Structure 1
Amino acid sequence: MPMSWALVASLLLATAGYLVGRSRALSAAGSDIRVLHSRPTYHGANVALLAFLPAVAIMAIASFLRMAGVLGASAMPIVSILALAAAIAGLGWGVTRISTEFRARNTVEKMVLGILIFCSTIAIATTIGIVMSLIFETGRFFQLHDWRDFLFGTQFAPRPEGISRLGMLPLLWGTMYISFIALLFAVPIGLLAAIYLSEYASPRMRSIAKPVVEVLAGIPTIVYGLFALVTVGPMLRDYFAQPLGLGSSASSVMTAGLVMGIMLIPFVSSLSDDIINAVPQSLRDGALGLGSTQSETVKQVVLPAALPGIVGAILLAASRAIGETMIVVLGAGAAATMSLNPFEAMTTITVKIVGQLTGDNDFSSPEMLVAFALGLTLFIITLILNIVALYIVRKYREQYE
């Protein structure tokens, strides 16, 4: 029996167990369910969980052992039968425990608490595993390549058959430059849109405009990249770069920055709108009652009260910009250079990570392992931004009754 069939069968047994357990609890109560310690739904949920959880646990452990090479494919039918047998045994045990005195609610809550703790543990363990893998592979890279060349080198030119230059500074410069232009475009527009939607727009206008703005967040980044490649890049080249003598390429920092800024508008707008709406109405009423105009109230009362949250939203948007890849690939090119000219092609850390991990590469070469060092660098940058955002929000957050 395939494991997928065993999983479906376990779900069906759990559903049947819920119905049987609830029915048995009602029968045990007779005409007055008040004699039950727990409601019939808890008795049904207890039977369903006892039927489903052991079967899922057996299948999960078997899948892990198979990935580790301990179990072969021939053992999977036996595992499926064992899982199905555990589900039947759990269902039967759950039904026999039903009585008026049985504390089904307490049992169900303990099982649900265990599930929540287990899921939280998986999330934490996954994060630790990602960080440790980056640190381990970065350590291997620094054993093969000089760390000073990586941290302070101004050239990134992997040459598997020659001397490689693996300096991260041009990649870091391109990442920060493109992110800065994106935020320079997205923050004013997103913040002004949030102020309008929360303070000036009518309920009807808000109900239309807010979903329209948030649609931008649902567009795949590859679509933004194609928009940069086909429309924005040629337009900037023909109307700005070439007439000003600043370049002749459609791939540039400005192209990627502007398109990325469009992508970030809903992040800044939506988060800022929620933060501004969280400011108590009593503050607005008090300012208006003292004779302030609506614009004065927004500038001197609402925005100062919402400023910590707005700064946190901007820093989170910055983290999103730093980790973007597809827009940079199609909009800014892949040249690892350092320049102040925004109409020149540059690249970012994420693009080079993809480039180094693409193709048949030797995982023991520094040209391959540099991707992990770049990934760790990017992780540290985004972690610092998130810590700063949390610090600002917690330190300057206003508490209202």
Structure 2
Amino acid sequence: MASTSKATVPGGPSLGRSRPRYGELIIKVILVLAAVVSVATTIGIVAALLEPTIEFFGTVSVVEFFTSIEWGPLFNPPSFGVLPIVVATLLVTIIAMIVAIPLGLAAAIYLSEYAKPRVRKVIKPVLEVLAGIPTVVFGFFALTFVTPLLRDFLPFTLDYRNALSGGLVVGVMIIPTVASLAEDAMSAVPNSLREGAYALASSRMIVSLRVVLPAALSGIIAAVILAFSRAIGETMIVVIATGGRSIFTFSPAREMDTMASFIARAGSGDVPVGSIEYKTIFAVGALLFVMTFLMNYVSAKVVRRYREAYE
């Protein structure tokens, strides 16, 4: 009876079982560990916030916390209405997005559709360097340059520390986030769509706005939501430029205290550990975490809704 053997191709690889690839196994383990660390970090944050927050609401009424317009947990007597700092946070964030969205999208359209490859290789890294500037530098820039400039040219009176100046500079800070991610999404649009539009005698502007922009909409929305989350949690700029006065107002000309700036100031002060004032930091942090989580959740839903798949 003839014996069987594994077939081989002369000069080619063996069709038998190859040697174990330990390098790929190591890489796979590293990637799994990275994913586990990310999930564990999120769980750790939730665990750290949960117990002090529950203890806080065991003393302070939830209704008072979410409906009162008096915020002064470090005063005597204390007041725990979170609305003033929530409004201030949203006001600064909205001002920042008004600055960042048009400028960031304009930069993305230019880099993706107008700039030559050599120009893009220079401008995009320079733009991304803006994201590496420490936020404390942005804060002092807002306080010492932007605010005096606004006070000279605006017809109404600004407080020396105000939400308008802080919001404008936060917007400048997040421009690279919008521009870089939106440009990546637009560059991923197949050239066949552009060529088809040009074949119909469309101008470059029409191709950019009516073909490329809608095709990259999911990536652009993700960039905007990520920038929004980045702006809502910004700390140093608002600590320096926006101030720390907890008043309920919708005027960007007034000094305000945002959620992030309150956490920074209260956490760096002489608040006794375990006191109700100390637990207020965790309650505000938990609220900020929930707001950011909801924004990311909505972003994921919207991206899946408008995602375009190309072959």
Note whether the superposition's TM-score is higher than 0.5. yes
1:108-137 superposed Cα distances (whole Å, 9 cap, x missing partner): 655554454344333322211210221111
Q: Which runs of 5+ in 1 are unaligned?
A: 1-33, 39-102
Instruction: Look up the equivalent residue of 2:64 and give its one-letter code.
Output: D
1:26-105 matches, within 5 Å, as 105=20
Do 1:236 and 1:250's aligned partners in 2 also have CA atoms closer than 8 Å? no
Distance between the aligned counterparts of 1:108 and 1:301, measured in 2? 43
The aligned length equals: 297
| TM-score, length-scaled by structure 2 | 0.90
**RMSD in angstroms over aligned alpha carbons?**
2.0
Structure number, greater radius of gyration: 1
Residue of structure 2 aligned with 1:209, choices 84, 98, 123: 123
Please give the secondary structure, in 2, of the residue aligned with 1:399.
coil
1:228 counterpart residue number: 142
Residue of structure 2 aligned with 1:335, choices 235, 245, 259: 245
Distance between the aligned counterparts of 1:375 and 1:159, measured in 2? 16
Do 1:183 and 1:261's aligned partners in 2 also have CA atoms closer than 8 Å? yes
Residue of structure 2 aligned with 1:170, choices 77, 84, 90: 84
1:219 counterpart residue number: 133
2:199 counterpart residue number: 289
Q: Which has the higher helix share?
A: 1
1:281-326 superposed Cα distances (whole Å, 9 cap, x missing partner): 0000011112212212112211111112111110110000001011
1:341 to partner: Cα distance: 2.1
1:379 to partner: Cα distance: 0.5
**Overall identity of the aligned pairs, in %:** 44
Distance between the aligned counterparts of 1:112 and 1:290, measured in 2? 48
Please give the secondary structure, in 1, of the residue aligned with 2:216.
helix
1:389 counterpart residue number: 299
Distance between the aligned counterparts of 1:109 and 1:280, measured in 2? 32
Relative to structure 1, the CA distance from residue 258 to residue 248 in structure 2 (aligned partners, 3 Å threshold; closer, same or farther) is closer
Instruction: Look up the equivalent residue of 1:190 and give its one-letter code.
Output: G
Q: Does 1:278 align with 2:188?
A: yes
1:138-217 matches, within 5 Å, as 138-159=53-74, 162-217=76-131
Please give the secondary structure, in 1, of the residue aligned with 2:277.
helix
Do 2:71 and 2:84's aligned partners in 1 also have CA atoms closer than 8 Å? yes
Distance between the aligned counterparts of 2:180 and 2:61, measured in 1? 44
Distance between the aligned counterparts of 2:197 and 2:158, measured in 1? 54
Residue of structure 2 aligned with 1:128, choices 24, 37, 43: 43
Relative to structure 1, the CA distance from residue 276 to residue 336 in structure 2 (aligned partners, 3 Å threshold; closer, same or farther) is same
| TM-score, length-scaled by structure 1 | 0.70
Relative to structure 1, the CA distance from residue 272 to residue 143 in structure 2 (aligned partners, 3 Å threshold; closer, same or farther) is same
Do 1:155 and 1:170's aligned partners in 2 also have CA atoms closer than 8 Å? yes
1:117 counterpart residue number: 32
Judge which range, 368-377 or 140-149, deviates more.
140-149
Do 1:252 and 1:345's aligned partners in 2 also have CA atoms closer than 8 Å? yes
